Amino acid sequence: MTETSSPPAGTVMFPRPKKRIRGRSIAILVFLTMAALFFCIPLYVLVTTSFKTMDQIREGAIFSLPEVWTFEAWRYAWDEACSGITCEGLKRGFVNSLEILFPSLIASIAISAVTGYALALWSVRWAGGFLFLLFLCAFVPFQIIMYPLIVITVNMGIYGSIWAVAFIHTVLAMPVLTLIFRNYYKDIPPDIIKAAVMDNGSFWRIFIEIILPMSGNILIVVLIMQITSIWNDYLIGVTFGGLGAQPMTVNLANMVTVTTGTVSYNVNMAAALQTAIPPLVIYFVLGKFFVEGIAAGAVKG
Amino acid sequence: MPRVSFEHIVKKFGEVMVLNSLNLAVDDGDFLVLLGPSGCGKTTLLNLLAGLSDVTSGRIMIGNRDVTELDPKDRRLAMVFQSYALYPTKTVRGNLRFGLSASKLPQEEIEKRIAWAADMLQIGPLMDRRPAQLSGGQRQRVAIGRALVKHADVLLFDEPLSNLDAKLRTEMRMEIKKLHEELNPTVVYVTHDQIEAMTMATRIAIMNGGKIEQFGTPDDVYERPANLFVAGFIGSPSMNLLPATVEPGGQARLADGSPLDMSAYAFGAVPPPGTALMAGLRPEHFALAGPAEAACRFTLKVRHIERTGSDVMLALAFGEATLTVRAAPADAGHLRTGDPVSVQFPKDRLNLFDAGSGRRI
Ligand SMILES: Nc1ncnc2c1ncn2[C@@H]1O[C@H](COP(=O)(O)OP(=O)(O)OP(=O)(O)O)[C@@H](O)[C@H]1O
Ligand SMILES: [Mg+2]
């Protein structure tokens, strides 16, 4: 019997043991399923409720699918819902958030990339001390410096505008981003920089022509980090934004917490989803590069 | 015109003295090889010349320009690195072009030079590839091309071939040598490969511990090593160094009592009798059945035999020490471990050093 199934003479086979599901892996599977449900169930409720009518919601079956799918709650949350005394929906906050996002994104990444490049690849006087300072700054809790920052922005005359919020985002992100860029650039082979210094020698030409094209991975990582944290921020927005320049998160919070009469669950959930969607889109678009970027950063060379 | 000279160069890293008052001058068109054991300061010296690090004190001249304080890009140098150091996101053409980016040349001159280098190094078909898409040898060629397009006064190489396999290394060696003969730039080339040094150099500087031990032509260094360090460092297998004592009448006696005839030796100054010497005998100069004019002859037991195909290396028992002798397979093919063998050393090939100072006598 074994003769017939044996491989041709001369080849040596090393049979692999069959993979078998054991108790340990079952335990892991159960745990993972529970974890998945833990996140999926609220999400399911959120999404379905946002498409229901208030009439159906009052019946109370929160797990049922909408009888009639309606975008009314989505439209209302975007266009008409009241937060505080204004009733313009979320669109105001959305625009504010975008207006805060772009300047702070560009400024924080540009400045910290150049600073990180200088610290990593050029001999900067007191670079060691400066790095240590950055390291300390990265761990200072925001609440501690909140009041001084308010005074600073008031004196700059930007308090209560989107520029104050963008400025604070930029400043607060800089220590960590500079450290990230510096550590990434430190691993660029020194000979490449030496060659570039002999070939051209210009700080900016080398940065733009040689270094920046090599930074694709880290730029994606930092981009995603920054978009997510700026978009999801509440505290800075509520502190520095004043009434006219509140980002979407503040807008949402006001809308959900301050309501008179019955709670419009469908509108609240639609609003929550609208606020959460932009970072999600970024994850889906850039997520693949994000993972690659983290992996590339982990391996030297 | 571009004579490169180092004058009283001192280089310290913090408290560590790496180069101590080093002097060295290379003539126009010379191919200088800096050769020495690991950590002796070769790369440091090259980086100082390139301007990639600053001298602690001293002066570097290229031609009649004092370049000590100049920026690297203003020194009119080009360098080829051991790791190639190509710009990974640029194509081969982009790499060559960036080499000229500081030169403010007209566009057509840039294109002309790139085409010239591509032609000379046969990298034409690779011009639109990225470095990652090239083999090691091709990358090395591109790195050399990037240095050549600059038409620099001086070309610097830091162990450019050490990442290549043996065959490619030999090829590239020939090619660099050929380039030097055609274009005749001044070259400073760092290596710790003796063969590279001996075949390519017109001048060799042997370095050890931040000092120049000897500076001369490859023949000088091989035939007339200036001191015991150079004698032991140059040559493979390395020179046999045997202690001896000077006796009257142009004679000396080796440690085992056998006489050493120094009558054909070109003494700088004849040492008085009783002086302790080191006699340097190159393995390849021994003869098994040799001339009557021998400086010394021994009959010794074979301790160990190593056959390389073209040669036979005999390790002979010279008391406790070992005497290495290179012989032709035809003469030594029959020998076995333990066999006695007679060897003699020609009078005119002797090297003698003062045992105390280590200097050549
Ligand atoms: N940045 C530095 N800081 C401190 N010491 C250094 C530094 N760079 C080099 N050295 C020391 O200077 C000495 C000479 O180094 P160098 O790199 O010039 O050696 P090398 O001759 O090129 O050696 P190799 O053949 O191994 O490349 C070494 O002892 C090294 O430890
Ligand atoms: Mg070196």
pLDDT level of residue A8 (50, 70, 90 thresholds): low
pLDDT (0 to 100) of residue B291: 63
Number of domains forming the structure of chain A:
1
- Decide: B204 and B189 in contact? Cβ < 8 Å: no
pLDDT (0 to 100) of residue B143: 92
Interface probe with A: pick from B81, B97, B188, most Cβ of A within 10 Å? B81
Q: Looking at this protein, which amino acid is placed at residue A105? A: L
Closest C-alpha residue for ligand 1 atom 4 = B13
A55 falls within a domain:
no
pLDDT level of residue A9 (50, 70, 90 thresholds): low
A32 falls within a domain:
no
Chain-chain contact of B98 with A201 (C-beta, under 8 angstroms): no
Tell whether the model's pLDDT for residue B206 goes beyond 90.
yes
What pTM was computed for the model?
Answer: 0.82
pLDDT (0 to 100) of residue A295: 59
Q: A183-218, pLDDT tens digit by residue?
A: 999 999 999 999 999 988 889 999 999 999 999 888
pLDDT (0 to 100) of residue B320: 86
Higher pLDDT, residue A24 or B277: B277
pLDDT (0 to 100) of residue A126: 87
Q: What is the mean pLDDT of residues B154-176?
A: 88
Strands of B186-191's sheet in order across: B77-80, B154-158, B186-191, B31-35, B203-208, B211-216
A223 falls within a domain:
yes
Query: Looking at CA atoms only, how far is residue B81 from chain A in angstroms?
Result: 7
d(CA A244, CA A258): 18
Angle at which helices A248-257 and A216-232 pack, to 10 degrees?
30
Q: A21-37, pLDDT tens digit by residue?
A: 677 888 899 999 999 99
Share of chain A above pLDDT 70, in %: 89
What are the tokens at B232? Answer: 């032991």
Give the C-alpha distances (Å, rounded to integers) separating A25 from A20, A39, A40, A71, B281.
9, 21, 22, 43, 73
d(CA B83, CA B43): 13
Tell whether the model's pLDDT for residue B307 goes beyond 50.
yes
A237 falls within a domain:
yes
Q: Using the 8-state DSSP alphabet, how is residue A66 labeled?
A: P
Residues with CB under 6 A from ligand 1: B 13, 16, 18, 36, 38-44, 192
A2 falls within a domain:
no
Q: Looking at this protein, which amino acid is placed at residue A61? A: A
pLDDT (0 to 100) of residue B11: 94
Name B248's Cβ contacts closer than 8 Å, sequence gap at least 6: B273
d(CA B57, CA A188): 30
Q: B12-21, pLDDT tens digit by residue?
A: 998 999 998 8
ipTM passes above 0.85: no
Computed over every residue of chain A, the mean pLDDT equals 84
What are the tokens at B39? Answer: 């950590």
Q: What is the mean pLDDT of residues B74-97?
A: 91
Chain-chain contact of A199 with B146 (C-beta, under 8 angstroms): yes
pLDDT (0 to 100) of residue B103: 81
A73 falls within a domain:
no
A166: containing domain: 93-247+275-300
Taking the CA of residue B45 as reference, the ligand 1 atom at the shortest distance is 18
Residue from B6, B10, B16 to probe ligand 1 pocket by mutation (most atoms less than 8 Å from CB)? B16
Residue of A nearest to B146 (CA): A199
pLDDT (0 to 100) of residue A229: 92
Tell whether the model's pLDDT for residue A3 goes beyond 60.
no
Q: Which ligand is nearest to the CA of B36?
A: 1
A182 Cα–ligand 1 center, Å? 25
- Decide: B228 and B352 in contact? Cβ < 8 Å: no
Closest C-alpha residue for ligand 1 atom 29 = B39
pLDDT (0 to 100) of residue B244: 92
Residue of A nearest to B100 (CA): A199
Considering only CB atoms, which chain A residues are within 8 Å of B88? Answer: 192, 214
Q: A211-229, pLDDT tens digit by residue?
A: 999 998 889 889 988 999 9
Q: B10-52, pLDDT tens digit by residue?
A: 999 989 999 988 999 999 999 999 999 999 999 999 999 999 9
Considering only CB atoms, which chain B residues are within 8 Å of A198? Answer: 50-52, 72-73, 77-79
Residue of A nearest to B74 (CA): A198
The three-class DSSP label of residue A70 is: coil
pLDDT (0 to 100) of residue B137: 87
pLDDT (0 to 100) of residue A301: 34
Tell whether the model's pLDDT for residue A11 goes beyond 70.
no
Closest C-alpha residue for ligand 1 atom 22 = B43
pLDDT level of residue B292 (50, 70, 90 thresholds): low
Taking the CA of residue B37 as reference, the ligand 1 atom at the shortest distance is 25
A34 falls within a domain:
no
Give the C-alpha distances (Å, rounded to integers) separating A107 from A114, A141, B9.
11, 22, 45
pLDDT (0 to 100) of residue B165: 84
Interface probe with A: pick from B73, B104, B148, most Cβ of A within 10 Å? B73
Tell whether the model's pLDDT for residue A75 goes beyond 90.
no
Name A27's Cβ contacts closer than 8 Å, sequence gap at least 6: none
pLDDT level of residue A265 (50, 70, 90 thresholds): confident
Least confident range from A37-41, A145-149, A265-269, B273-277: namely A265-269
Name B170's Cβ contacts closer than 8 Å, sequence gap at least 6: none
Taking the CA of residue B44 as reference, the ligand 1 atom at the shortest distance is 18
Computed over every residue of chain B, the mean pLDDT equals 90
pLDDT (0 to 100) of residue A10: 57
Tell whether the model's pLDDT for residue A298 goes beyond 90.
no
Give the C-alpha distances (Å, rounded to integers) separating A9 from A13, A16, B360.
11, 19, 69
Q: What is the CATH number of the domain that holds A289?
A: 1.10.3720.10
Q: A96-115, pLDDT tens digit by residue?
A: 899 999 999 999 999 999 99
Tell whether the model's pLDDT for residue A2 goes beyond 50.
no
Residue of B nearest to A206 (CA): B98
Query: Looking at CA atoms only, how far is residue B97 from chain A in angstroms?
Result: 10
Tell whether the model's pLDDT for residue B67 goes beyond 80.
yes
pLDDT level of residue A260 (50, 70, 90 thresholds): low
A208 falls within a domain:
yes
Q: What is the mean pLDDT of residues B134-156?
A: 90
pLDDT (0 to 100) of residue A300: 35
Q: Which ligand is nearest to the CA of B37?
A: 1
Considering only CB atoms, which chain A residues are within 8 Å of B83? Answer: 189, 191
